[in-house]
Amino acid sequence: MANFVLVHGAWHGGWCWRHVVQALVQAGHRAHAVTLTGVGERAHLLSPAITLETHIEDVRCAIEAEEMDDVVLAVHSYAGMIGTALADRLGARLRHLVYVDAVVPRPGESWSSTHSRAVREARLAGAQASDDYALPAPDPDNYGLQGADYEWVKRRLTAHPGHCYDAPLEFDPVRAAAVPRTFVSCVRPALPTIDSIRPRMADPHFWNGEWRRGGGAQVLELPTGHDPMVTMPAELTQILLRCA
């Protein structure tokens, strides 16, 4: 039996992992989908006081509360910031870190660091205009969703705490790279804000060369959009099982 902790990206909630959680449990494993403070069913806690560190603590505390070791930690999109932090700080508790079409930062970067100036300015303007300094949810059409999947995700997306957007993350690449890693690249259609991350996976100098050392890293591709836990849950589940 393996232990899985699943962390959604911005504007989502633990709900987006529903089909993956069901499949992992049916296969005989433990699976816990975290909902970060201020979004999803915890949207009533939205506040300008929420930071990246709040969300890192959300996941660390979930691992502690669930009494999990040897964790396969899957992090989607924005939550790549969180997964990287936990690989650095809690690496002994992790068996494998799976970046699901996720941000993979350099030390000192924020979630916004690799975004275009136009995207950064638009998102920060949206936060400034809100009562809670929150980033308005985008149209899930950006994720390549259609039909019932589009409607389901659109109903559930919530604003995301804005101070997570430009918060830098300091970490030690040597410690973070000690955890075996998989990057799941979702390319049909590819999300523009993740496109700047993909070349890093092939860069021999990324993380001062540590990305290719340590526990080892691999890149896998899924022919779907940015929310594979919604559009290709069976295929994503198989990747997670192999990582365990």
- Say how far apart CA 131 and CA 60 lie, in whole Å: 29
Choose among 114, 152, 175, 155: nearest CA to 229.
152
Whether 77 sits among the annotated catalytic residues: the reply is yes
- Alpha helices per DSSP H over the chain: 18-26, 52-65, 80-89, 117-129, 147-156, 173-177, 192-195, 228-231, 233-243
Dig out the tokens for 36 from the structure: 């970060």
Opening angle at CA 27, ends 21 and 29, nearest 5: 65
Q: Residue 4 and residue 21: Cα distance in Å, rounded?
A: 9
Catalytic residue (choose from 77, 110, 112, 185)? 77
Q: Positive or negative, the Cα torsion across 206, 164, 83, 154?
A: negative
Angle (CA) 28-232-234 rounded to 5° is 25
What are φ and ψ of residue 75, in 5° steps?
A: -125, 130
Q: Among all residues, which ones are annotated catalytic?
A: 77
